Structure 1
Amino acid sequence: MPEIYSAFASEVKVNQETIEGLQSIEYVMVKNRQSVGAIGSDERIAVYFGLKSVNGKLRVASGNKTLDDLLQKDTEFSISATLKHRDTTRKVTFDSCYIEDKSFGMASQGYGETIYSFTATRVREE
């Protein structure tokens, strides 16, 4: 059976502080991979792996002072997301994070929304 998590029941914290007004969290983890080809052949004979990068976004209604301060002060922080649905729980932790950039938008007849992009040294999924 698939694990389906509810945004309503889930929680995201930055340095143990719940992010109020959080609309979404998304992330991508990419492993640098290089193929090794055989001499005289067009086939791959091996693969080696390099740097792993973790990039994510926190989408917040209006804005968040804590995240603004982390961006201004270039301060390292951690993010912990507890994803829930009924009795099912999954914890996702991002270590050694830094805010990379911030963008703000507001549509007519809507509300302001800030997107904070971050990088992390690693992501742990439990």
Structure 2
Amino acid sequence: MTEELNEFDRAYNELFRGRALNTQHLNDCKKIWRAALTQRPAAQTEREAFAVARAFALATMASEEFVRCKGMPTGEADEFMMTGPDLTDEHATACVDHLKWVGECVAFDTDDGVLVRLGDFTLGSLS
């Protein structure tokens, strides 16, 4: 297990070295890491909790990139239309559901497909 975590650390650091300067990403990782520590089973270590937090942050970034790449821009900032085969694709649906769950987007069903608006839609953003 330790070797797997070390390998994950190396891959994460190599892949996201440039993104590590992004303050928002670091703050998100820290918040998720703290939450993972408070909700962890007794046998879980801090290192495992941090790995879970980073995996969660990676899933969020990958979901957002998927929507940005596969969705058609509507002309509005951070707004994309998911149409056609993307509506039936299980991965696309999972990405949008994940973003809604973490408060990174809202989605509206329209006649043309699903309109996805990216942004901060958490309760913390309202204060």
TM-score (norm 1): 0.30
Greater strand proportion? 1
Larger Rg: 1
TM-score (norm 2): 0.30
